[in-house]
A and B are shown apart, each in its own frame.
Chain A
């Protein structure tokens, strides 16, 4: 499945957000995520319905960065 993470195309096999983040290399990173522009809080709700990804999900992962 092709998705976009922080603007970069990615091929993943996982179908829920937690697994996708793990597969994409965010294993130990503390990140907040938004899918298709909508914030996804950590916890049980991070399991996204499959349709979110089938539609060409656009995932944004942001970590604690300062400005």
Chain B
């Protein structure tokens, strides 16, 4: 699990089942936990599998990569992920414009047979900070096209409102710049965002 990158998703719609624990629902799909894991940079497929088993993550994020002619590498990875028995959340990693993200999302939907998409539109090359304008534009287009969009966003409250207005039911605010492993850099505003979209009273 040490090698895995955990992800935080803020749930817009929650459903509860008794006192045993919360059941997270993303776009109507109930999951035992909102915990997600990435699938990159594991030392081996066995360790990847162990990370998912030990963490009990419900969702695996995957990306679309270019495939060389004659190569079948992607198919092997896909079988590995499918055998984990978790939900697959494709992403648009590496996209720097809304149009590029939209095209990649459509390719991902066809490849992974899901309308879930973790929407990434990168605006700043060094920090990989999302481009808020391109993100909203792409989110609106994809929502209209039937996608269930999980936008990778900052903790900005106004941007969150725009994404919800665009049709998103889930937000994925960054905890720290991608790849830094710094944990929650700005817990105050992430918590504030969570309260805001849950309709809870605000407070510091």
Contact = CB atoms under 8 A, between A and B. Distances in A.
A66 B77 contact: yes
B38 A30 contact: no
A42 interface: yes
Contact of A6 (B68, B102, B110): B68
Interface string B83-122: 0000000010100000110111011101110000000000
B63 A67 contact: yes
Given A39-B106, A63-B65, A64-B111, A29 B93 contact: no
A45 B63 CA distance: 24
B36 to A, nearest CB: 13
Given A6-B68, A29-B72, A67 B107 contact: no
Q: What interface size band does chain A fall in?
A: 20 to 34
B62 A29 contact: no
Contact of A66 (B62, B69, B104): B62
Q: What interface size band does chain B fall in?
A: 35 or more
13 contacts: A6-B66, A29-B67, A29-B75, A31-B67, A32-B64, A32-B108, A41-B106, A60-B66, A62-B64, A62-B107, A64-B77, A64-B112, A66-B81
- Give the 3 A-B residue pairs with the shortest CB-CB distance, closest first: A25-B69, A65-B65, A63-B67
Contacts of A61: 66-67, 69
A63 B111 contact: yes
